[in-house]
Chain A
């Protein structure tokens, strides 16, 4: 065996074993024996925030951003900015009321707010679609990583990740072992931070060359350097999608349930903002260093593996191998944690609405239905990722955000802040936003040749699909104002009154 692959193999195996071990025996860590007053030990905001960070930082964050910055320059920094700022919107507008609603998933919120099974079913469908869209790049990233680390064929990564996730989910259905997810965040941070420090030291030792001066005096370091009106549109659309999409991600919202009250939900979100802010400082450093030391990667179309290749290119020797092992471990942790979170969120919905249904007079038991749901949740995106491996990792994630922003964002914002929302309005808005952004996504995934304004509008649908979904929801709700749910006002009071206020909430 080639010695180049040793650190990668060791890293992947170590992370896999650690994840399986912690999730199998994890319950023992998270519970205390013979210890009284455990009930007062709710999950603290700092721990919960680490767990959210662990689940949220996906392949796109870990691998995608550095590659995008390397190839396209500074305007790609909107991705990390948007992914962080999404939590700011969540903090200000959604976190506390959503927690006070008592909903566990987004379909739960829709049902509680609007009292309609129809809206609930539509939301369930959207959760599955968004979950699959988001799982797709995780599997692609896994394929790329294993290809770069151990020269495996591209289908090995998706296979390994899906098997690990399925074993993980199937063994106990463990959704929120907070400790495991929190550990994953710190692993990912360390895996980027340590190599970054070493690489920066080497860069300083080389006389700190300026990344902007390499490869011709182009517009690499300018936001909106090129592209004119289309570039401006793409940037705005990206901002809309990422700022508003975060609140609609199925695996993020369920973690807020762990907070004991609305106030803790806000605190958690604040800490998440800080943790993500720290993390997202690192990938651009790799992007900039890659501009100096690995300029040919971008030309060869391998920008997504920049983070994995850079330590070896810059350091070499044993240290280089160690650092490579570390970033590979971090990347693998990114796929595993995000994929498990998403697989469980999608499996939960599928087991409730599809596999848990009575088919031909027979009905699967709760656990059986959940496992069947998990299998469907993982296998479908894994197959798609093997068959169409050439869409950029960060771009596919961007599409998932666009769909989330066009559907759940209007539902949550209007559901929380406007009592006039009706079930008919919600269904119409979800349909317009979901179909609009969904068709754009489908088009982009299937054909990648469209150029010009049509291609841009389809590749970045958020800027037109979010406003149209919002407008549809408002207009149809006004037209059907007679069907505002009778409990709307009471529900609003519950959403917006702090828990400290003594109030009859029934």
Chain B
């Protein structure tokens, strides 16, 4: 029975060399997740276990540019000595082999260490140290290959970091995007009330203060729909102070959806766009009034927010480019909000824009009432 099974098993698992390759790949895949977090003491500790198996040497270590982060295997007492070698490594230093001084432990197998540089984006970030009784040519080759692989993983980690940083920068950009014009114009409008209607001027000034405090707040990526809409209302109050009768706003908000958590500043930029479109068109209309509708509805597990204006509308092709993130378009807010919504809730929850030249614009935001990790 066994003899009949064997040929099948051999073909199934491959030759001895195949299996060795599989083992190597598997060990590498075990080390990868830790390295993808970047080079820290804890990630070095977790990945090094597998890296030493990969190398098959008595000792291995990962260092940053100043000292040893983690040491696996025997010969930990050489860590300090190794650190001295690393300290005087230059930017584009090649792999070097260092003799360890005679140590008190005569049985210590770490007589020589191979120090391979880890380079991310042409900058030395650390080294892979391999300790062995004797640094053979093949061991040096292996150490270099593993070091190159680790460098690749670290580079990917850097990429993950920069993607998160990019999203954060975009939110910051949105905050900074509150246009200087808006601030200047609002203050101007408020100033015009100071003599004629001081009470209103005072109220508007307080609204302005609250509006800026909300928009410039630093903590948290999410807020409640109630907070976001309150900020929108303040913004509209200030715009209406400026344009008086040229802007008519209708808000219809179902109170049930006010506690929903939404990404910070995800409605405000859309309203700003709508106000701009509505006002641009108002000059050409007979009654000279731009209209704006903001609706929030409750749809069981989701909440639907619609921002509609009766302005000039937009060429759908241009909107498509703005949503695709074309920075040359003037509706930067649109692409940014769309990207953040997709990033938070998945691709099913992108912005929906209905528009045509001369037909106004309607932007629809759908937000699930609950998504894992999204909370105020």
Contacts and interface: CB of A to CB of B under 8 A. Distances in A.
Interface of A: 27, 30-43, 101-105, 108, 111-112, 115, 173-178, 257-261, 344, 347-348, 352, 366, 370, 494, 504-506
A259 B259 contact: yes
A175 B226 contact: no
A33 B251 contact: yes
Interface stretch (B48-56, B126-134, B295-303, B314-322): B295-303
| B220, B226, B254 — most chain A CB neighbours (10 Å) | B254
A37 B229 CA distance: 8
Interface residues of B, number: 37
B250 interface: yes
Contacts of B297: 27
B370 A348 contact: no
Contact of B259 (A36, A42, A108): A42
Contacts of B372: 111-112, 115
Which of A30, A39, A43 lies at the interface centre, i.e. has the most chain B CB atoms within 10 A of its CB?
Answer: A39
A488 to B, nearest CB: 14
B375 A39 contact: no
B6 interface: no
A504 B221 CA distance: 12
Contacts, number: 104
B241 to A, nearest CB: 12
B283 interface: no
Given A42-B226, A102-B374, A102-B376, A175 B255 contact: no
A34 B224 CA distance: 22
Interface in B218-270: 219-221, 224-227, 229-230, 233, 236-237, 248-256, 258-259, 261
Contacts of A40: 226, 230
7 smallest CB-CB distances across A and B, nearest first, come from A39-B229, A31-B252, A104-B369, A108-B370, A102-B375, A104-B370, A175-B300
A27 B255 CA distance: 10
Contacts of B259: 42, 257-261
A258 B369 CA distance: 10
Most chain A CB neighbours (cut-off 10 Å) among B225, B226, B251: B251
A173 B300 contact: yes
Contacts of B261: 102
Contacts of B295: 31
A27 B254 CA distance: 7
A505 B375 contact: yes
Which residue, B224, B261, B300, B302, has most C-beta atoms of chain A within 10 A? B300
Nearest to A347: B300
Given A111-B372, A112-B370, A352 B301 contact: yes
Contact of A260 (B226, B236, B302): B226
B230 A39 contact: yes
